[in-house]
Amino acid sequence: MFSSMASLPIDPILGLMAKFREDPNSDKVDLSVGVYKTANGHTPIFEAVKAAEKYRLETEDTKAYIGMMGTPGYNDAMLRLLIGADYPSDRIAAALTPGGCGALRVASEFLMRANPDATVWVSDPTWANHMPLIGGVGLKIKTYPYYDKASHGVNFSGMIETLKGLGPNDVVLLHASCHNPSGADLSPAQWDEIAAVAAERGFIPFIDSAYQGLGEGLDADAYGIRKIAASVEEMILASSCSKNFGLYRDRVGQVAVMTKADRKEVTVGQISSIARGMYSMPPAHGGAVVEHILTTPSLTASWQKELAGICSSIQTSRTLLKAGLEKAGVEGDFAYLIQNQGMFSFLDLTVEQINKLQADYSVYLVNSGRINLAGVTANNIDYLAASIKSVTG
């Protein structure tokens, strides 16, 4: 039976990770994988996480299942973080999921059950894994204009014109902040217009929040979520704690569906059913850590301080790269690097140039030109900028 299986290509980012690990060049630079790293290439554990884990180790007295929706405390704490303390609890069904990917998949399965004829619109470009997570359930996917290569910003006129033509059978996937892969974010005024169009046209906003706190701050990065939630009757929110809590390997996320109050229990039942058929019960550890941090004022303050430090570090990397490229004489206007938000931006490089960077200089990035700014440090900027100058002429 298994001999009929065909070989599949290695995931591009996972392949680059393997090549980077095996590369003996001491000057090698990794700009590929979307993980925060310090200047010495280490992904640290938050002190607040360590403290919450210590508390859990000392107080946990059972390993019984926590239920398909996760704990009410976790779900409440996350919704307060994302939507605000006054979130409409009577209209939102939320569940702890195995990471943001789990949240996206549960949400997609929910949409498929609600309307198998729905079309999900994603930004052009979007995070590559949106396609298999959403399309894998059988939903149709189309793209709306988003990234303007000339300005390295948002093509908002093209985006909003497309959204104005959508209706109740459409779902629009929006990045809450720190757009992956471009780093080009919507302004508050643009979120306001999207919210108004969503309310008028009746399409379902589906917001992916993976980087809250890594752009302009926890509240500023949630502006779009809160505006949409205040403007429409139905929406979906998928969130991840990988980046902003550093819980990558612990797989902590949440799916939340906002609907009419009299449909909440039906929605809880549907989400529970989907979870049961996919992974049955969510893992407890990471959710408990997040819950303890968000409900313990001293740990909340510690976490927020550490998160602000990571955000500042990424902005410093953006400034370093802009200055380094300009100093090395690389042609182009790199102001966008400090205007974009979060871990990612694009470099205007051809596939040939990217391949040459890898082969000749051990600089690793994906073929689209997307880079993880966390890989740019004071220790490697001169080498990195000189390498880019060499392949661009």
The amino acid that residue 211 corresponds to is Y
Q: What is the DSSP string of 116-168?
A: TT-EEEEEES--TTHHHHHHTTT-EEEEEE-EETTTTEE-HHHHHHHHTT--T
Q: Is 107 a catalytic residue?
A: no
Residue 298, Cβ density class (10 Å: 0-12 exposed, 13-18 middle, ≥19 buried): exposed
Q: What is the DSSP string of 241-305?
A: -TTTS--TTT-EEEEEEE--GGGHHHHHHHHHHHHHHHTSS--SHHHHHHHHHHHSHHHHHHHHH
Active-site hit among 127, 221, 250, 385: 127
Q: Which two tokens stand for residue 18?
A: 């393997």
Rounded to 10 degrees, the C-alpha dihedral 62/280/233/215 comes to 70
The amino acid that residue 93 corresponds to is A
Between CA 264 and CA 275 the distance in angstroms is 16
Q: Which of 225, 240, 372 minimizes the C-alpha distance to 310? A: 372
- Residue 345 near residue 325, CB atoms below 8 Å: no
Q: Is 94 a catalytic residue?
A: no
Q: Is the dihedral of CA 52, 58, 61, 63 positive or negative?
A: positive
Q: Is 191 a catalytic residue?
A: no
Between CA 148 and CA 152 the distance in angstroms is 5
Q: Is 121 a catalytic residue?
A: no
Active-site hit among 30, 76, 170, 208: 208
Q: How many CB atoms lie within 10 A of CB 209?
A: 27
Active-site hit among 77, 103, 210, 284: 210
Q: Which two tokens stand for residue 71?
A: 């704990």
- Residue 115 near residue 169, CB atoms below 8 Å: yes
Q: Which two tokens stand for residue 344?
A: 């990612």
Between CA 289 and CA 56 the distance in angstroms is 7
Active-site hit among 227, 243, 264, 322: 243
Strands 153-154 and 29-30, sheet pairing: unpaired
Residues 6+ apart with CB under 8 A from 219: none
**Which residues are catalytically annotated?**
127, 208, 210, 243
